[in-house]
Structure 1
Amino acid sequence: MDGSLVRYSTSAGRWVLLATVLGSSLAFIDSTVVNIALPEIGRDLGADAAGLQWTINGYALSLAALILLGGSLGDRFGRKRIFMLGVAWFAVASLLCGLSPNVGWLIAARILQGIGGALLTPGSLAILEASFDREDRSKAIGAWSGLSGVGGALGPFIGGWLVGIGDWRYIFFINVPVAVVVLLVAARHVPESRNPQATGRIDVTGVLTGAIGLAGLTYGFTAWPMRGAGDPVVLGTLALGVAGLLAFVLAERRSRQPMMPLPIFRNKAFSGANLVTFLVYGANGGVFFLFVINLQVVADFSPLLAGTALLPSTVLMLLFSARSGALGQRIGPRIPMTVGPLVCAVALMMMSRIGAGADYWTGVLPSVIVFGVGLTLLVAPLTSTALGALDDAYAGIASGVNNAVARAAGLLAVAVLPLAAGLGGGSLTDAAQLSPVYRNTMMICAALMVAGGVLAWFLIPNRLPAHTPVKSFCDPGAPPVHPSRTAPPVRSGR
């Protein structure tokens, strides 16, 4: 490898894309397949409801709490190096999950899995941003979005198939050979990059306060629906989360080598992209949570049909996300980031009408296709803007921030939207109670999409200014080639 940036159309570019897609899919798929295996896990390990819940929440908690650290470590020590460490860590944790003799062991191993996911997830996008030629980045990120979406959509099918043919432990064991493939491809084909201005020192105060803040909010919002808003545990953990994040901001302002440099938020395009991310991914969280439940409980669809209902959206993203990224590169991100959420809002208003006796072909499929068109227009330009608004030296932390915002929005949506829609202490498995809650939730999500589109129009520029890229390099221990160490790290979002 000669140290130059790779092109999307070359074999080198395809290998880089393959490594990042497979690596990030490990974390994406494991967020969904475990849900399918929970009944088998409960029967095999004798786990109660709380133990099964923590099997899910332990992973989400450590992932959300440490994802910023993963992006920062990549910027400091090498994105390829931290990405590969995360993949290897995830594989070992998956093996421990599959060997679990009891639910306590499984929960601990799932927490370790979340740590691995926090190391590899921001690295996958940061590698794309730092490795591809500027003209090809949006296309590469679009292809990554589409292919990763397919991986997430296939997760429930893979999990159901593995549980059906054998044992729930297979859903964890299968991660090991996939991780080995990722490590082999990454070691041979992925170029190394890092922030030349970052030091090897870890911002310990920032790590601790950020982890406490994100973990507190994650746990508080996760416990809210079960315990109630006035429960002392909910209030205490939410207060701890807010205090932790405030302490994190103060620590980052005072640190000489902050994990998340606060001046990056002076960039209008970067801040705007993350605000849009929070709104639209909050809406997506509500849709993906309630849509399938409504199809089964209210419309009386089979689990298989309900689970495949959104596949047309995934297929559209797979086929056209790369082209959407290229379109955003050509005309600028503002228009697709404005139009995409508005199209999604129309789809969600259509989805709100899905009720008892709905027919898939006439009542469900049209809204799913419109939703897929909106997401295809939106996701690749949004991700490209969130990463491309800052200098390449900050690709890791930009990816970490955007991932943390998206995951926080999804957690908040699942916790708050059913309550805001009028569920109260009702049941999600009772058709009479769920029907109005679902309809109200879809309308709230549509409003969030509209707000995201409006914000994008006012905050996202027509063009992102050019910048000096950090060149790739092969030896992770060698200094990166950077033509201008005096270039400003943050670009203005004019």
Structure 2
Amino acid sequence: MTDHETEPVGAQAPPVSESGGHPLRWRILALLGLAQLMLILDVTVVALALPHIGEDLGLSREALTWTVSAYTLAFGGLMLLGGRITDLFGAKPVVLAGLMVFVLASLSAGLGDSALTLLGGRIGQGVGAALLSPAALSLVVTLFEGAERNRALGVWSALGGGGAAVGVLLGGLLTAGPGWPWVFYVNVPIGMMVAVALTVLLPAATPAGPRPRLDVLGAVLVTASSATLIYALVGAGDRGWIDLFTAALVGVAALGYVGFVVWQRRTASPLMDIGLLARRPVATGAFLIVMATALMIAVFFLGTFYFQNHRGYSAARTGLLFLPVAIATMAGADLTGRALAVIDASRLAVLGLVVAAVGLAIPAIWLDPVPVVLGVAVAGAGTGALFVVASATALGQVAPHEAGIASGIVSTFHEFGASLGAAVTSSVAAASLLGTTTAGFTRGFVTAALTAVVAAALATRRGTDAV
């Protein structure tokens, strides 16, 4: 994408039907949506499998945390680069390439018999997802027109709202059934089927518009800086939060981010439009999506280890206990989407954070199965609301030609939020994740609740509707 042409491209105008748009657009959307759902599910589908993976492979707490963070970090860090590659080569080949990388990496992760092979597979999944997701979204934009495009984008957004919560339920059922490798194996037949169908149905395409240069250095800087920060946060659970080495790693990450910003301002074809990110609505939307994803991951991380390791529940039973969370998350997103027409976005953001804080405070005060389920369901409703407000805030006031890069920014921060949530929660609750004490769970829920309170205070002060 160029500085002035940031809307996703990558396909020539396809043949149109009498109603406008590609004649097979809804069938293609179903396939692309299924592929995107796999990517979203893989953020949380491993959550219920983590205790079993750790036991079978003898993994440490740090390795288990990286099982989540390695995927989301590669996904988020390379997503904007994936958008640039789509501009360069066209959406169809990038979708198919990303899908095949994701499928092969899923197979590798399922076959993994050590931390190294498992994490290598998860990184590969992230790379495939970073190629597939922006290319698929660009196809949705080009295949649909007018009001139908809004409907299609609504379907696309709904996948993110409920897919993550459903992933925990699916992960529990697969882990209790054929075993934890199947949380990865299940992607193989589905991915292959989708790839074959898309090969036939997608129109042949060539890139449209000018071909941008790939900002590989920018992608390396932002991904390496984020990986360093996540490494520091994960290790803080053992080394301590005020440890000199932890502080040094955080400093290195900060320098890397500064270098990324400087490079983005100097390079002719930047990975990210820093000027767009500096706008208050986009920055606030990015902040809210980080909060929503981090809190969501904290809920799943704490809940799955509490129920399975401390209470001794099976993965299937634990997964079913998260069903109310999935329902509450989707309900919160749906109600908020309707309320945006009559209630100010800033108030809905604060309300979502307050609801999340209240929900997280329940198990922080009373750590028992019923309060935990009730609390995380309430928190799920709050985070579901935040996902909708974040997207509406970040994208509601950008020009049409800026919508593509703004969407990429929001998606990138979504994945970084998952990485941060897993890292911080793992460190705060370290004593309980692989031990017998419950003190770590309580600290984890308290930390998450306080984070939501602080975020609500910031949202109240700044507002989300200012330009």
User: Which TM-score band (shorter chain)?
Assistant: 0.7 to 0.9
Per-residue deviation, 1:410: 3.4
In structure 2, the residue corresponding to 1:27 is in which secondary structure?
A: helix
User: Relative to structure 1, is the Cα distance of residues 81 and 224 closer, same or farther in structure 2, using a 3 angstrom cutoff?
Assistant: farther
Rounded Cα–Cα distance in structure 2 between residues aligned with 1:39 and 1:295: 10
Q: 2:453 aligns with which of 444, 447, 454?
A: 447
Query: 1:353 corresponds to which residue?
Result: 362
User: Relative to structure 1, is the Cα distance of residues 118 and 345 closer, same or farther in structure 2, using a 3 angstrom cutoff?
Assistant: same
Q: Partner letter of residue 105 of structure 1?
A: T
Q: Partner letter of residue 342 of structure 1?
A: L
Contact 1:66-1:211 within 8 A present in 2 as well: yes
User: Relative to structure 1, is the Cα distance of residues 412 and 342 closer, same or farther in structure 2, using a 3 angstrom cutoff?
Assistant: same
Query: 2:410 corresponds to which residue?
Result: 402
Per-residue deviation, 1:377: 4.1
Rounded Cα–Cα distance in structure 2 between residues aligned with 1:273 and 1:126: 21
- Tell me if 1:460 matches 2:433: no
User: Relative to structure 1, is the Cα distance of residues 405 and 103 closer, same or farther in structure 2, using a 3 angstrom cutoff?
Assistant: closer
TM-score (norm 1): 0.74
Rounded Cα–Cα distance in structure 2 between residues aligned with 1:190 and 1:326: 33
User: Relative to structure 1, is the Cα distance of residues 231 and 371 closer, same or farther in structure 2, using a 3 angstrom cutoff?
Assistant: closer
Q: Partner letter of residue 265 of structure 1?
A: L
User: Relative to structure 1, is the Cα distance of residues 77 and 451 closer, same or farther in structure 2, using a 3 angstrom cutoff?
Assistant: farther
Contact 1:126-1:399 within 8 A present in 2 as well: no
Note the alpha carbon deviations across 1:13-44, whole angstroms, 9 max, x for none.
54344233322222233333334445655666
Note the alpha carbon deviations across 1:181-237, whole angstroms, 9 max, x for none.
332454455679999665242123323322322222232223322333355653443
User: Relative to structure 1, is the Cα distance of residues 442 and 258 closer, same or farther in structure 2, using a 3 angstrom cutoff?
Assistant: closer
Rounded Cα–Cα distance in structure 2 between residues aligned with 1:118 and 1:273: 21
Per-residue deviation, 1:57: 4.5
In structure 2, the residue corresponding to 1:229 is in which secondary structure?
A: coil
Rounded Cα–Cα distance in structure 2 between residues aligned with 1:395 and 1:71: 13
Contact 1:210-1:244 within 8 A present in 2 as well: yes
Please show how residues 112-123 of structure 1 align to structure 2 within 5 Å: 112-123=124-135
Contact 1:99-1:169 within 8 A present in 2 as well: yes
Q: 1:69 aligns with which of 71, 81, 91?
A: 81
Rounded Cα–Cα distance in structure 1 between residues aligned with 2:250 and 2:223: 13
Note the alpha carbon deviations across 1:47-68, whole angstroms, 9 max, x for none.
6666555544443443343233
Rounded Cα–Cα distance in structure 1 between residues aligned with 2:266 and 2:386: 36
Contact 1:140-1:322 within 8 A present in 2 as well: no
Please show how residues 91-490 of structure 1 align to structure 2 within 5 Å: 91-100=103-112, 102-129=114-141, 131-133=143-145, 135=147, 139-187=151-199, 198-231=210-243, 233-293=245-305, 304-318=316-330, 321=333, 325=337, 328=340, 331=341, 335-336=344-345, 338-354=347-363, 355-356=365-366, 358=368, 360=370, 363=371, 370-387=378-395, 389-416=397-424, 426-427=431-432, 433-434=439-440, 436-438=442-444, 440-451=446-457, 453-454=459-460, 458-460=463-465
Q: CA RMSD in A?
A: 4.2
Per-residue deviation, 1:249: 1.0
Contact 1:65-1:213 within 8 A present in 2 as well: no
User: Relative to structure 1, is the Cα distance of residues 111 and 262 closer, same or farther in structure 2, using a 3 angstrom cutoff?
Assistant: same
- Matched-pair identity in %: 27
Rounded Cα–Cα distance in structure 2 between residues aligned with 1:253 and 1:221: 29
Q: Which 5+ residue runs of structure 1 have no aligned equivalent?
A: 462-492
Rounded Cα–Cα distance in structure 2 between residues aligned with 1:341 and 1:7: 40
Q: Which 5+ residue runs of structure 2 have no aligned equivalent?
A: 1-13
Q: Partner letter of residue 347 of structure 2?
A: T
Rounded Cα–Cα distance in structure 1 between residues aligned with 2:20 and 2:339: 17
Contact 1:277-1:405 within 8 A present in 2 as well: yes
Query: How many pairs does the alignment contain?
Result: 452
Per-residue deviation, 1:244: 1.7
Q: Which shifted more, 200-209 or 389-398?
A: 389-398
User: Relative to structure 1, is the Cα distance of residues 50 and 292 closer, same or farther in structure 2, using a 3 angstrom cutoff?
Assistant: closer
